[in-house]
Amino acid sequence: MKISRMGLIGGLMALMATGTAYGTNKNGPTDGDIGLQRSVTPVMDSVTAFNNLWLVPLMAVIVVFVMVLMIYIMVRFREKANPEPSTTSHHTGLEIAWTIIPVIILAVLAAPSLKLLYFQDIIPEADLVVKATGNTWNWEYSYPDYENIDAYISNIVDVELAEKRDANNVALTHSQIIDKIQARPDGQPKLDGRPYLLASDAPLVVPVDSVVKVLVTSNNNLHAFAVPQFGIKIDAIPGRINETWFKVKTGEEGTYYGQCSEICGVRHAFMPIEVVVVSKVEFKRWAANGGSFETQISQNSGSAVTAGLQ
């Protein structure tokens, strides 16, 4: 039983750790991390709190209870201790218990979960409205309140499929593909330290400490607009406009990443979402300049961002 106790303690600690978003300042997914990505918005703060304070402790209790119950059953009802097998077919009390207890658990979780859903769904008065339209397979961004900013397409920074194999038709590693992207001539989209398969050639640009309402739709099939650190994920449906919102907290200027989260076709995995959060002053300058900064690193339909914002 000593080994079993150690296993229980270790399993409980591992499970509790999965619910903790580690306090690093790095944005986006990081190799070796477990748990949710670092929160930078009030909505994601609420999602993280609900996960850490409600779901993880409840899962830990259930896992420990089931493990203890399984160990008890294996010891108490093993063949050596029960040479005559039981003929019991059911137990009314147990059947009632394992039906009612899950109902009670779900009822208890209903209150905080509905509160969180309401907080996510009710959009405060917006400081900025942006529109994200899913295509096959990229995103189109526009700013309805700014007539001088043209809509622009945001594509993944990648190489063509044929370029992902060498002369012997052997698939290149991610490192080799990254080196090939970085070897491009100046003026072509590069990663410049951004994560491969998450970087785009024309990110969405928004101001910090501002309520951003996102109108989400699609030109063809189903997509989903999701940025984990913002706590947003909403379907992009043809012929319909869905709404979500986020407000990046003061001091959290930087670049954040997401992906299409609805299986949408053969290049579903190649629809990254890159959001550059800048100061309000910097955003005003970007908007006044028609959706571009002085130093352009990526341009699509007249829109660009600067290297200093990566």
**Radius of gyration of the chain measured on its C-alpha atoms:** 25
Cis-peptide into 137, omega within 30 deg: yes
For residues 181 and 222, is the Cβ–Cβ distance under 8 A? Answer: no
Q: What pLDDT is recorded for position 6? A: 45
Region of poorest pLDDT, from 75-84, 126-135, 252-261: 75-84
Q: How much is the mean pLDDT over the chain?
A: 86
Average pLDDT for 90-119: 93
Examine the pLDDT at 125 and tell me if it is beyond 70. yes
Of the given ranges (21-35, 95-109, 123-137, 144-158), which has the lowest mean pLDDT? 21-35
197: left (phi over 0), alpha (psi -120 to 50) or beta: left
Q: What is the CATH number of domain 128-157+199-309?
A: 2.60.40.420
- 20 pLDDT band, cuts 50/70/90, is very low
When pLDDT is averaged across residues 165-184 and rounded to a whole number, the result is 90
CB neighbours of 57 closer than 8 A, spacing ≥ 6?
A: 16
Q: What is the CATH number of domain 2-121?
A: 1.10.287.90
Sorting pLDDT into bands at 50, 70 and 90, what band is 24?
A: low
The Cα 65–Cα 5 span in angstroms is 13
Taking residues 151-158, report their average pLDDT.
96
Residues in CB range of 97: below 8 A, 6 or more apart: none
| DSSP line for 42-99 | HHHHHHHHHIIIIIHHHHHHHHHHHHHHHHHHHHHT-TTT-SS-------HHHHHHHH
Mean pLDDT in residue range 28-47: 89
Lowest-confidence segment of 135-149, 167-181, 227-241 by average pLDDT: 167-181
Confidence of residue 85 (pLDDT cuts 50, 70, 90): confident
Domain positions in the chain? 2-121, 128-157+199-309
* pLDDT of 70 higher than 50: yes
Q: What is the pLDDT of residue 124?
A: 95
Amino acid at 168: N
Q: What is the pLDDT of residues 205-245, one digit of tens each?
A: 999 999 999 999 999 999 999 999 999 999 999 999 999 99
99 pLDDT exceeds 70? yes
Q: Give percent above pLDDT 70 in the chain.
A: 86
pLDDT at 298: 41
pLDDT of 262-310, one tens digit each?
A: 999 999 999 999 999 999 999 999 999 998 876 444 443 334 444 334 3
pLDDT at 104 over 60: yes
Tell me: pLDDT of 165 over 60: yes
pLDDT higher than 90, residue 59: yes
Pairing assessment for the beta strands 272-278 and 254-260 based on DSSP bridges: antiparallel
Confidence of residue 81 (pLDDT cuts 50, 70, 90): confident
